């Protein structure tokens, strides 16, 4: 009976997700894009994929720059995700809507970061990807504010406004937008957690573990970066994302470490033992954080992919789609930048995540 109810509840979701993922770029397509002799040939090859109509609609008469292409792909990602969410119903739609708040939080991060460094209004908005006219209007209104504090006061979501205002002292003290970016991340995670309350424990734990994985590994990379940059303890403290109790216990175990080896030794004590060993080998050999980040994304992609194999009638199908679609978008952008700069295919291939 339990399996029947799950199949009934997630049958439509699974069908929609499978339909979307069936259009995903295959290895052969990636190879053709990677081996483009120049950027124009890359765009020509990309036009033959499901991204072609979006590119034509945005730039019908000219070759889009890598920056313009990135915005076209990001807009396409938000449109597809938004349409999928609107096609769902009940608590599954509530979860998808909460998960889609990432577009709001990422947009607010961009607006705050841009205002902090003094970009003009049009330049800031060129990097923002709204998912609805209402969201576009909000971003357009916020960039007109005279400073970040006024911007926050005009945010119409009360609990989000409060979350940001509590970080205002840290923003003023450190002269950095990082405290606000962390506040947005934590608010987003709380919203996703609230949307999970209507689901059985098994579904909740499935999603919580995936989110914990990303948060823990994001905090690990942040700590490694802090050691490289020599950040002080105050800056490290406000740069860590708080999530579950287990996740924060892990943060406490790494935030006082003084070497990358010590940080990765703590990671080895978690469920990511094999990954920690791999990261230790990579960093010991290359001393390159970019290599660490790529290895982490590969690892997370495989964790997500597992949600789409075997028995498919659960929330992992939804989160799997959002994440794998995002990775595809990022892959195409990475290839575009690499080809435009004349990088060899062997180098670009190391920059993408094939799932």
Contact at 8 Å (CB) between 32 and 26?
A: no
- Count CB-CB contacts under 10 A for residue 294: 17
Are 277 and 330 found together in one domain? no
Domain boundary among 292, 310, 328: 310
Round to whole Å and give the CA distance between 36 and 27.
15
96 assigned to some structural domain? no
Whole-angstrom Cα Rg for the chain: 21
Tokens for 324, please give them.
């794998």
Is residue 192 domain-shared with residue 256, that is, in the same domain?
A: no
CATH code of the domain in which 270 resides: 1.20.1690
Same domain, 72 and 112: no
pLDDT of residue 89: 84
pLDDT in tens, 115-156: 999 999 999 998 898 888 899 999 999 999 999 999 999 999
How far, in Å, CA of 263 to CA of 240, rounded? 14
The model's pLDDT over 20-61, given as tens digits with 9 standing for 90+, comes to 777 889 999 999 999 999 999 999 999 999 999 999 999 887
> Total domain count for the chain?
3
Q: What is the DSSP letter of 142?
A: H
Domain boundary among 158, 180, 199: 199
Q: Do 32 and 133 belong to one domain?
A: no
| pLDDT for the residue 317 | 83
Cα 248 from chain centre: 20
Q: Could you tell me the residue range of the domain that residue 142 belongs to?
A: 101-199
Quick check: 318 and 206 in contact, CB under 8 A?
no
Residues 139/130, Cβ–Cβ less than 8 Å: yes
Cβ-based neighbour number of residue 79 at 10 Å: 13
* 256 and 324 both lie in a single domain: no
69 shares its domain with 118 = no
In a domain, 95, yes or no: no
The C-alpha atoms of residue 131 and residue 128 are separated, in whole angstroms, by: 10
DSSP for residue 308? G
What pLDDT score was predicted for residue 149? 95
Q: In terms of domains, do 283 and 345 share one? A: no
Give the chain's residues under pLDDT 70. 1-12, 310-314, 355
Domain co-membership, 184 together with 237:
no
Residue 4 has a pLDDT of 46
Question: What are the φ/ψ torsions at residue 349 (nearest 5 degrees)?
Answer: -60, -30
231 contacts: CB under 8 Å, gap ≥ 6: 225, 239
pLDDT for res 6? 55
Q: Which of 330, 309, 300, 353 is nearest to 18 (CA)?
A: 309
What the block records as the tokens of 288 is 């390159």
189 contacts 180 by C-beta, under 8 angstroms = no
The reported pLDDT for the residue numbered 87 is 84
Please tell me whether residues 227 and 325 are part of one structural domain.
Answer: no
Is 112 within the bounds of a domain?
A: yes
Task: Kindly state the DSSP code that residue 218 receives in the 8-state scheme.
Answer: H
Q: Show which of 199, 223, 258 is a domain's final residue.
A: 199
DSSP-assigned letters across all residues of 249-296: HHHHHHTT--SHHHHHHHHHTTTTHHHHHHHHHHHHHH--HHHHHHHH
Angle (nearest 5°) at CA 146 between 140 and 147? 100
Any domain includes 302? yes
- Whether 149 maps to a domain, the answer reads yes
In whole angstroms, what is the distance from residue 142 CA to residue 121 CA?
9
Q: Assess if residue 330 is contained within a domain.
A: yes
Residues 6+ apart with CB under 8 A from 108: 142, 155, 184
Whose CA is closest to 152, among 109, 216, 101?
A: 109
How far apart CA 345 and CA 33 sit, in angstroms, is 9
Question: What is the domain-level CATH number for residue 32?
Answer: 1.10.132.50
207 shares its domain with 232: yes
Q: Is residue 94 part of a domain?
A: no
Is 120 within a domain? yes
Predicted pLDDT at 118: 93
**pTM, 2 dp:** 0.87
44-55 core/surface letters (b: 16 or more CB in 10 A; e: else):
ebbeebebeebb
Question: Cβ distance 135 to 103 under 8 Å?
Answer: yes
125/195 same-domain check: yes
Residues 193 and 204 in one domain: no
From the CB of residue 219, how many other CB atoms can be counted at a distance below 10 Å?
23
């Amino acid at each position: 009976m339990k399996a029947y109810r799950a199949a009934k509840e997630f049958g439509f979701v699974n069908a929609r997700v499978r339909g979307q993922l069936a259009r995903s770029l295959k290895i052969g397509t990636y190879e053709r894009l990677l081996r483009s002799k120049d950027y124009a040939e890359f765009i020509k090859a990309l036009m033959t994929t499901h991204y072609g109509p979006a590119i034509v609609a945005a730039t019908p008469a000219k070759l889009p720059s890598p920056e313009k292409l990135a915005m076209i792909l990001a807009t396409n990602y938000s449109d597809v995700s938004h349409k999928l969410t609107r096609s769902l119903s009940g608590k599954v739609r509530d979860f998808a809507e909460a998960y889609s708040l990432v577009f709001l939080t990422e947009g607010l991060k961009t607006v705050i970061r841009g205002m902090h460094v003094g970009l003009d209004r049009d330049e800031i908005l060129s990097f923002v990807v709204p998912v609805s006219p209402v969201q576009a209007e909000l971003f357009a209104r916020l960039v007109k504010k005279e400073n970040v504090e006024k911007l926050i006061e005009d945010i119409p979501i009360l609990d989000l406004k409060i979350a940001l205002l509590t970080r205002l002292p840290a923003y003023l003290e450190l002269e950095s937008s990082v405290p606000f970016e962390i506040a947005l991340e934590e608010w987003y995670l709380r919203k996703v957690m609230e949307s999970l309350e209507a689901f059985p424990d098994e579904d909740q734990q499935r999603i919580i573990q995936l989110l914990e994985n990303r948060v823990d590994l994001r905090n690990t990379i942040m700590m490694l970066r802090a050691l490289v940059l020599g950040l002080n303890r105050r800056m490290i403290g406000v740069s860590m994302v708080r999530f579950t109790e287990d996740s924060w216990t892990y943060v406490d175990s790494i935030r006082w470490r003084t070497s990358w080896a010590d940080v990765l030794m703590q990671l080895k004590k978690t469920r990511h033992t094999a990954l920690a060993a791999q990261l230790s080998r990579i960093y010991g050999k290359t001393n390159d954080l970019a290599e660490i980040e790529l290895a982490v994304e590969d690892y997370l992609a495989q964790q997500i992919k597992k949600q789409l194999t075997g028995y498919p009638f659960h929330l992992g199908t939804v989160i799997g789609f959002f994440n794998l679609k995002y990775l595809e978008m990022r892959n195409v952008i990475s290839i575009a930048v690499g080809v435009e700069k004349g990088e060899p295919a062997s180098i670009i291939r190391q920059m993408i995540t094939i799932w």
